[in-house]
């Protein structure tokens, strides 16, 4: 009888380990409620915000990309072999409209024969990836702040709002993404609201990504 009890204990132990290994949610990213709004004509809108400079993680680019591509941290530099074409890489912590940090974003702007193209990859650990594709012009922010009195090398305080992209209505298209964003398409606008530039060229203000998306039919 003792042998039977021992074997039962072994089976119970094995079953416990395999059940925990197979079914326990080993990874469960904290999730905040989505601030998406349902649109009257179908689809949904959601706005994401990045505060400068606190949400900037790393930025680097070529000189011709202007203020936005100032290196951060300052010691960051592109390999010389990648400096012959316009390049601007930026990385941010992403907030929802209430100011909660909900994700990480990578933004690449690179020169192509069609002009400077912008690609966003916004990653929300509990929700998936959202991909955006748009365009911009080199040093778009520089000309906007210069028109309000900014001079390179000097600190500046003011209020400038610049929507990037050639289309007034949208900066580009929503390409969908993974998990919760899979199958979505639509448009987005990318607006940089600048309130200041520091002595070393560091930007202050916010970036707003406003999306309007619906499931592709």
Partner 1 sequence: MKYFVVLVLGFLTGVGAGLGGLYYTPLTRESGFTLTSTDQSLNYESPITAGLVFTHGGLSRLPTHPASVPELWEATLNKTALSVLALAGADGEPRAVASRISLLSERTELLTGGALLRDNWLVSVPGEGSLVITADANWWPFLRETLIPVWYFGREWRGPSGYAPTAGPAAGGAALLRGVSGAYAGRSGVAAERYQIEAFDQRVGPGKASAELAWQFAQ
**Angstrom distances, CA of residue 183 to CA of 30, 59, 79, 112, 213:** 24, 30, 36, 27, 10
| Contact residues for 143 (Cβ-Cβ < 8 A; gap 6+) | none
Q: Does 212 bind partner 1 (CB under 8 A)?
A: no
Q: Does 99 bind partner 1 (CB under 8 A)?
A: no
Q: What are phi and psi of 141, to 5 degrees?
A: -75, -35
Minimum Å distance from CB 86 to partner 1?
A: 8
Residue 5's beta-bridge partner residues? none
Residues in contact with partner 1, shown as a per-residue x/- string from 19 to 58 under the rule CB under 8 A: --xxx-xxxxxxxx-----------------------xxx
Q: Does 2 bind partner 1 (CB under 8 A)?
A: yes
Cis omega (within 30 of 0) for bond into 53: yes
Q: Does 112 bind partner 1 (CB under 8 A)?
A: yes
Per DSSP, the residues of 131-168 read EEEEEE-TTHHHHHHHTTT--TTS-EEEEEEEEESS-S
**Contacting residue, 84, 99, 153, 169, with partner 1 by CB under 8 A:** 84
**Residues engaged in binding partner 1 (CB under 8 A):** 1-2, 5-18, 21-23, 25-32, 56-58, 60, 73, 75-76, 78-79, 81-82, 84-87, 89, 91, 93, 100-104, 106, 108, 110-114, 117-119, 121, 123, 125-126, 129, 131, 133, 175, 178
């Amino acid at each position: 009888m003792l042998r039977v009890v021992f074997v039962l204990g072994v089976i119970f132990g094995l079953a416990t380990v395999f059940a925990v290994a197979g079914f326990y949610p080993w990874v469960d990213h904290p999730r905040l409620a989505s601030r998406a709004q349902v649109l009257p004509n179908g689809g949904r809108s959601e706005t994401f915000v990045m505060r400068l400079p606190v949400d900037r993680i790393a930025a680097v680019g070529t000189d011709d990309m202007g203020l936005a591509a100032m290196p951060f941290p300052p010691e960051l530099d592109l390999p010389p072999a990648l400096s012959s074409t316009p390049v601007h890489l930026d990385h941010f912590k992403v907030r929802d409209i209430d100011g909660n940090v909900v994700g990480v974003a990578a933004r690449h702007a690179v020169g192509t024969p069609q002009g400077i193209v912008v690609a966003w990859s916004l990653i929300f650990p509990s929700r998936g990836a959202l991909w955006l594709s748009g365009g911009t012009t080199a040093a778009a922010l520089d000309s906007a702040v210069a028109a309000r009195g900014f001079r390179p090398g000097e600190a500046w305080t003011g209020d400038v709002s610049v929507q990037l992209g050639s289309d007034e209505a949208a900066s580009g298209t929503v390409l969908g993404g993974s998990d919760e964003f899979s199958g979505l398409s639509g448009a987005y606008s990318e607006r940089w609201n600048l309130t200041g530039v520091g002595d070393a060229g560091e930007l202050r203000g916010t970036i707003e990504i406003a999306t309007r998306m619906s499931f592709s039919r």
